[in-house]
Chain A
């Protein structure tokens, strides 16, 4: 009986993770494709599995579950969480890579295309393939630059040429364009509302079942704010996002909603693809950093003496090296390594992926010191507490004390720091890529988009859309992450009392 629940908390997450693995590896076997997961994909799936286990663990620990409940009870956090979920879903879809068989070849031969698209690419294939020649403004029907065109009468003239895809269906763009856009947007709106109604129905049925209400009563309870979690906020935020995405998506089938870049790629597609890069940097870096920070931090605080001195010297030294320089040095040496060992990599994508991973590791190594210092301070306090002394009086081993008494009591700090650092890391990627020591130039990321847009800012008229698109998507992600982090910090802060605030 004793400690039954904590011992078996892993059964359900294990089943879920096994199911997901089966899906990820098994489904490609049934379909005529070949799964081709990148290194970062695998790490992301490990992270997802870790999050599933952690969630199950938290569910059995009231001291961790209660603050998370409070997080979700806050309206702001709920809205931010919905936004984050949209980003995460796109990022995850973009992390399932596969190869398709070459057309015209029988499957059994095993000839696959060299392209390694992700599930996200597959779903947005139209966006990816509808490339133009060069720049075009958002929702434009003509190229941004004039070209020499041979007219019917044989003379050449400088003209904005019609786009190959954007608005190509219009007979007369001058008159038809805006009515067509309005009509298409309306279609999108209807789709968005339909999807939202489906979601609202699901949510209210779920609420009716958990709260034991009739469907009608549950619906009213949600909108009058009487549900346990702010489901009204959830539905409103999800509604806005769904409608927005649906309109953008329907429009993007006929137009380039955010315009095209220098080589004619759709900027909407690029900025969505960048989400994965941002998330990878924000999360995998943490994964690299946590073991260092936690182990060294609590060891320094608990053992004190020479161990403490050593660890402190280590992180003070590391902190004194200018971060950007260290990152630049590491990235450049990795670049040299990659260039000298072309035989190790199958494709350009593998190389870019390794560089992304390397960036995560380097960022992780330079950013663990902060958390480590916090944990050292907290452990210094905890080691003096009487329950730690009582454990020593029982003859418990030091490392058991670390695991059983110190670690669970600093876990809330780890959670807060991880959530807070996420947004900082997403921004760091943009800055580093801009400087040129970030991700591979072939990787689609917000940093690279900004870097590419930099030179065009001097142009008259200005090519502003790449920059603005990257800015908006990054801003939304970082704002949502920060709002969420605020709610997490408040929920775990013992000084703010237990009174639920709205």
Chain B
């Protein structure tokens, strides 16, 4: 097996995986070709439903029930895997080609210890036994950066955090030293700081073992950091394949270019984001032209008549694209219609700040009860003293890793969770002491948009009734005809047609559903909307539509948003102020420009540096955070961040730092700035 670097390890040629279903056939993967060399990372990039995961599963011949590989070749070391019997494939799977999945929570068997699960792979493929086996397991755990491997191998999956589980998955995948590792969205379920750790680990291991990697992701930024070459998939086909540098320097396919334009960021703050109109076509038909033609702003009649051929753009044959625009055989290529240009989101004159909602020392503690009489044995300090201001017409972003309590803040603000202590003041009205009918009336002014557009609408109600619910409850517009007109108007405002009113939620895509949810929240003409990760379940292009809509609505109605998110690029695009949360407390807050360009708190610095970005950055050193978010049941004494802080001092262990006011309305809670600040405030 001595292969030099130039011989491809894996060659996929014209792979087609179809799902026949009665008279219609879903062509999930429809003619995909690519190659991977040893030690190389190839990324497959695409939005949900484009067939990237099915491609990966086809390589392992693990196509889900109902699907089958109808044609193509998968040459691994020059041998066609499609000719292998199931028995032969078992010697390949896990041994020479290994796979890690997106969801570490469900990929491990909960009744076996981690050690046993890794040992199983070793026994299966290497036939190790006894002490040799145990030592190898420990070595592997050590390799993937699990502290104290000897003890940890006796742990069950539920005793480990998400990042740890993903490390165990990687250890299992690496156990038999595979030549090719397929990573299907390996970090999508993880927080940014953990994502950075896992991606680094993968890169190190890849270099050590000289292993090839197929990285499947929807995140352009992850690709920018790791891949050697990038394949963009759209509707079952690869539309562009290029080495990383060329890909980021000069993306060619209109779809790729649109994707880049749709990514939010600070540079696009005053603009509307580019959106790709329409949605991905259904794959249950033959295409007579280009699959992207209906959504492409540069399409001309030929695009709908003839299928574009694969065109190689450079001499090395590394950069190819599937578009008529670059095909030398196409005689006539029309000029690119100048897109309507960057649409200004309107002149932004900052109105004077007027506070709509403010919280003082808001606390939410969940009691832990045990025993027969439900005695309180402990508390989860989910939110532990938060001061926030929401201003009219402005967006305040609440940023933090999962489990830091940011969603709880949003719900406590709306009194959906009863706060344990503290005040929530809405235009002079104290909300925490309200109850019953008076609180119900106040709910008109405060609304919420949820993360999961699938769970946030009752599947048994028509869209019209869903939007109507709040109006009926609050007695807004008791006249039915008037109400109907208003619903139609709302639907049009969020970019849906009025006939949507008579349809059920399942008939809409994720992005459309999210817009219905926005319409529902708007129906009561609220002042404050809590947006709880409204775009994290959406694809980039759909996310752009939603962000544009939110921004437009804010301008039209002077809405205040509390934008809860873990995505810093969205924050940079949308927010005016940022509050960074760590373990139930806000560690730093301030206006977005200042905070993003000059973070003060060590946690903020680490968080920002961990975010992968598209722009090749130089000089920005990635601060690696050790460990993971501690449990809010038993937060570390002193500053909660000190066990992970690279700049921790002795004083950090003793007491939580007070608020330090910095220039330009910034606040930070860290001992590093206490004496430098203009004035300190006691806890």
Contact = CB atoms under 8 A, between A and B. Distances in A.
A323 B524 CA distance: 53
B459 A386 contact: no
Give the most central of A62, A393, A397, A404: most B CB within 10 Å.
A393
Nearest to B444: A395
B440 interface: yes
A500 B451 CA distance: 33
Interface in B51-93: 66
Contacts of B439: 395
Interface string A263-306: 00000000000000000000000000000000000000000000
A395 B22 contact: no
B277 to A, nearest CB: 28
Contact of B480 (A2, A499, A500): A2
A414 to B, nearest CB: 14
B268 interface: no
A397 B436 CA distance: 9
Contact of B469 (A385, A389, A396, A409): A396
A389 B455 CA distance: 10
A405 B457 CA distance: 10
B460 A386 contact: no
Interface residues of A, number: 25
Interface string A393-425: 111110010001100110000000000000000
A393 B517 CA distance: 13
A3 interface: yes
Contact of A389 (B448, B470, B480): B448
Interface in A71-109: none
B465 A387 contact: no
A396 B440 CA distance: 8
Nearest to A498: B21
B416 A389 contact: yes
B448 A408 contact: no
A408 B416 contact: no
A405 B473 CA distance: 14
Nearest to B441: A395
A499 B473 contact: no
Interface residues of B, number: 42
A195 B439 CA distance: 68
B443 A404 contact: no
B416 A393 contact: yes
Nearest to B440: A395
Contacts of B66: 499
Give the most central of B450, B457, B460, B484: most A CB within 10 Å.
B460
B215 interface: no
A338 interface: no
Contacts of A321: none
B448 A1 contact: no
B458 A394 contact: no
Contact of B464 (A3, A389, A393): A3
Given A2-B464, A499-B22, A390 B501 contact: no
Nearest to B530: A393
B484 A394 contact: no
Contacts of B468: 2
Interface in B493-547: 501, 504, 517, 520, 524
B169 interface: no
A401 to B, nearest CB: 10
A386 B456 contact: yes
A391 interface: yes
Contacts of B411: 389
B373 to A, nearest CB: 12
Given A394-B469, A395-B474, A387 B457 contact: yes
Give the most central of A386, A389, A396, A400: most B CB within 10 Å.
A386
A392 interface: yes
Nearest to B468: A2
Contacts of A397: 440, 473
A61 interface: yes
Contacts of B474: 394-395
A445 B411 CA distance: 59
B414 A393 contact: yes
B153 interface: no
B387 interface: no
A125 interface: no
Interface of A: 1-3, 61-63, 385-387, 389-397, 400, 404-405, 408-409, 499-500
Give the 3 A-B residue pairs with the shortest CB-CB distance, closest first: A395-B440, A386-B456, A394-B470
Interface of B: 21-22, 66, 411, 414, 416, 439-441, 443-444, 446-448, 450-452, 455-462, 464-466, 468-470, 473-474, 480, 483-484, 487, 501, 504, 517, 520, 524
16 contacts: A1-B484, A3-B464, A63-B459, A385-B456, A386-B452, A387-B466, A390-B448, A390-B456, A390-B457, A393-B446, A394-B470, A395-B439, A395-B441, A408-B458, A408-B460, A409-B460
